[in-house]
Amino acid sequence: MDWFTEPLQQIHIQRALFICVLAGFTNGYLSAFVVLRKSALQVGSLSHTLLPGIALGVLLFGISQASLFSGALLAALIVGVGSLLIARSSRLDQETALAILYTTAFAGGVVMMEFAPVDIDIDQFLFGNILFAGPADLQTVFWVSLIALSVLTALRRPLILMLFEPSAARAAGVPVRAMNYLLLGLLILVLISTLQAVGCLLALGLLVTPAATVYLLTDRVEVLFWGGGVLGAVSATFALFLSHHQDIGTGPAIILTLGALFFVAWIFSPKYGLLAGLVSRLRRPVEAS
């Protein structure tokens, strides 16, 4: 029990634990929409655009929770909306436009960090460091999680209908375009709130892997949401204690824990696992004979 109780004597570990539970569950719950929508690469592009927004916020207003949050939000919205405008006004598809915009924005963010008026550890923004999280970070994660989970739970049925049958959703009176923008906005908010935990480069793993793992274990959509949330929270919590005792970065520890669980599910899933597929192929010649 000392492995669990000893770190909790420190206030920054207690704060990090709350953030892990909140951010892990919210990301895991939202990851079900990302997996069902098949938009993981789009989300990854948006996570990379947070860095230039952070850099711009620091350049203009210094380091504060408000400047980092507003800068990251503005950058993600500009790149997201900009990719739509380019796709609609040219022969390029949105994914191509998004790739160009986010790589250009990310490179610009790296350059702007060099001109920051204060000394900045860029690794903290790229990979996260939840142990440095302050009360303002916890408040941000709490309110973003509360808003995102409330909205997603209340609108889950029309959102699922929109993802699977957009034509049927329109016929049923669901505002599909507005729902798409709402989902995009919530994704951006959750990504920003997760920055302190896993950073820009690793945020995609926390926002995709939980539901992707559960997706290999069940066909029930309901389980995909709640299972992804629980898996995200438990994995992030375990990784926090692992990083404390092994003296490794918390962000990488969270993603490695989730990645390990994903590969276990991929290999041993009773229905969709690698071993199940091999056994099924081996049985076919025997049944045929």
- Alpha helices by DSSP H, the chain: 2-5, 11-37, 40-48, 50-61, 65-89, 94-114, 122-127, 135-154, 156-164, 166-171, 176-193, 195-215, 221-246, 250-268, 274-288
Question: Cα(48)–Cα(121) distance, rounded to whole angstroms?
Answer: 17
For range 245-272, the mean pLDDT: 90
Question: Cα(203)–Cα(152) distance, rounded to whole angstroms?
Answer: 19
Quickly tell me which residue has 């994704």 as its tokens.
187
C-alpha pair distances (Å), 131 with each of 47, 100, 139: 21, 34, 15
Closest to 254 in 3D by CA, of 12, 27, 2: 27
Residue range 8-40, pLDDT digits in tens: 788 888 888 999 999 999 999 999 888 888 777
For range 213-219, the mean pLDDT: 91
Residue 43 has pLDDT above 80, yes or no: no
Structure tokens at 247: 């003296």
Domain count, the chain: 1
Q: Which position has the higher pLDDT, 256 or 94?
A: 256
For range 175-181, the mean pLDDT: 83
For range 258-283, the mean pLDDT: 87
CATH of the domain at 227: 1.10.3470.10
Among 15-19, 125-129, 162-166, 218-222, where is mean pLDDT lowest?
Answer: 125-129
242-245 — which CB contacts under 8 Å span 24+ positions? 244/7, 244/13, 245/3, 245/7
HSE (CB half, 13 Å, CA atoms) of 248?
14
- Domain containing 80 equals 2-288
Question: Cα(237)–Cα(103) distance, rounded to whole angstroms?
Answer: 32
CB atoms within 10 A of CB 178: 10
